[in-house]
Amino acid sequence: MRKILLTFAVLSAAFAATAQCWNIESDRKGCLLGTCCNADNETILVGRYDKDSFSAHATAFAIKIDEDGSYTTFQADDDDYSSFFEVVALDDGGCFVVGVRGEGVNERLWVLKFDEDLEVVSEHFYDKDAEFAELEFYYMLMTKDDDGTFLVTGSVSPEIGFSRGFFYRLNADGECLNSRYIHPDDYNGLFNNSGYRPDCIREMHECSDFLVIGAGQGGNPSFLRFDYDFNLVSTNIINDLPNPNHGSVNEEVTLLTFLYSDYWIDSTNLLISGYAGEDTDDNLFIDKHYMFFGKADINANIYETVFVANQDTLHSTIQCHNMSVANDTTIYIVTVANVGSYLGPSLVDIYLANKDLELLGRLLPDNISVGYRPVTAVATKDGGIVVAENKFGYDGMRIRKFLREDFRSILSVSEESDLLHECLVYPNPAIDAVHIDVSGLDVGDGRTILRVFDILGRQCFNRTINGDGTVLTLDISFLESGTYSFQIIKDEDILISDKFIKR
């Protein structure tokens, strides 16, 4: 364990001048897999340092960042392979961590409880079922139940074939209360043709059941409901996914990677975020990628969506925790996309939204991450967000904290007379923002909506206008180049309808 007092690194004003930055130096690439924020507004991150490019040799680590800017680190010894996958904050300032240690038949589930200084309080190892001894732990998730126990699920994978799932329920000291590995005949063979691939696990309200999101049948994402003892209660497969036209169904739109949730709307509905892809050329190849934010019920019905980003890119980077919630009005969505190749730098956008799916702001940090290594993010108790990534071209990693006020508003209303122009929309064409003359209109009553559509008629922005003024300013930097139409609507009546060009 090591504690370091850091000096704040100030980023250039083009990104966020108030951001705090921690550069964690290492002679190895860091791979960040889990993160959380405790009640004292301290951020804890876990993962592994890879000794080579293929993660064949790795060492687990944990980092805890205090509010005063100092940070504490824990790193496992180099005797054998180790990796942390997930962390949950404890009320006493400590944390509960799960991972793996050992290789091959000697690989075991590793459970640690740390105190507030990242000193080990308890440590437990658990062997895989004998039938699964040759399989490797691939991924795992963890959540804390209302009764104080910890639920762990994940997958073990063979070199060839589908992954198999497992469950562990642990008490507050890390002792195993119950476990189960998914055998071929379990759950009526549900996972025999697709494997078990959990993206998110959430305890349910008003009962002891829990929901696993992402594990599917035939490759389709599903909402799987299990009871306290890991019996399957129900499975609901997402067959119809919304396309970017906000709710309509397109058979060519499919989920590509993570489907995640960090917010229950009520006991049967939750916010979700995920990637979708579209085969625009009908050649059985996904050539359009979308990041969406939406609402779904526990029966896997996605009934409302907002598409926050799209890319004509070859790859989309895997990331963990792409949604993180501070409160009802501060929800962060992180999008990551490789430019042309897995090995190139990644473009990262962070969007600020609320529980009503309104996009409130956007932050575009500089290029971060490298290849297929995850970017993790977690909202903090003060309404900010901590983003951890691997620095492109360097070993070690970088951790940055942004505040809510660092985000540029996507839509604002002002009385700036110098923005008024003889045209309704100015400038046009535009690169970063357009100004719309709304003088003479009452747009500050909370009943007026701005909608923007691309040239194909797909809705790409839908937002209630809040605030009085004569000039409406819309940030369009997140849109692709092209022609867009917009409508300003009040009580279903179209007040303004016009077009602009994004360069």
pLDDT digits (tens, 9 = 90+) for 463-473: 888 777 888 88
Task: Check if the beta carbon of residue 295 is closer than 8 Å to that of residue 301.
Answer: no
Residue with tokens 């860091």: 30
> Per the domain annotation, does 358 fall within a domain?
no
Burial of 495 (0-12, 13-18, 19+ CB in 10 A): middle
Domain interval for residue 422:
412-502
Predicted confidence band of residue 1 (pLDDT cuts 50, 70, 90) = low
Share of the chain above pLDDT 70, in %: 77
User: What is the C-alpha separation between 382 and 327, in angstroms, rounded?
Assistant: 10
Three-point CA angle 22, 24, 30, nearest 5°:
125
> Per the domain annotation, does 174 fall within a domain?
yes
Of 187, 206, 237, at which residue does a domain stop? 237
> Per the domain annotation, does 101 fall within a domain?
no
> Per the domain annotation, does 313 fall within a domain?
no
> Per the domain annotation, does 10 fall within a domain?
no
How many residues can be counted in the chain? Answer: 503
How many Cβ atoms are within 10 Å of 442's Cβ, its own excluded?
A: 11
> Per the domain annotation, does 472 fall within a domain?
yes
> Per the domain annotation, does 56 fall within a domain?
no
How many Cβ atoms are within 10 Å of 73's Cβ, its own excluded?
A: 15
The tally of domains found in the chain comes to 2
Of 202, 237, 272, at which residue does a domain stop? 237
Task: Check if the beta carbon of residue 399 is closer than 8 Å to that of residue 22.
Answer: yes
User: What is the C-alpha separation between 470 and 441, in angstroms, rounded?
Assistant: 8
> Per the domain annotation, does 208 fall within a domain?
yes
pTM for the full predicted model: 0.81
pLDDT of residue 118: 96
Of 185, 211, 237, at which residue does a domain stop? 237
From residue 459, alpha-carbon distances to 244, 245, 453 in Å are 7, 5, 4
- What is the residue-averaged pLDDT of the chain? 80
User: What is the C-alpha separation between 74 and 108, in angstroms, rounded?
Assistant: 20
C-alpha neighbours within 13 Å on the C-beta side of residue 341 = 3
pLDDT of residue 451: 87
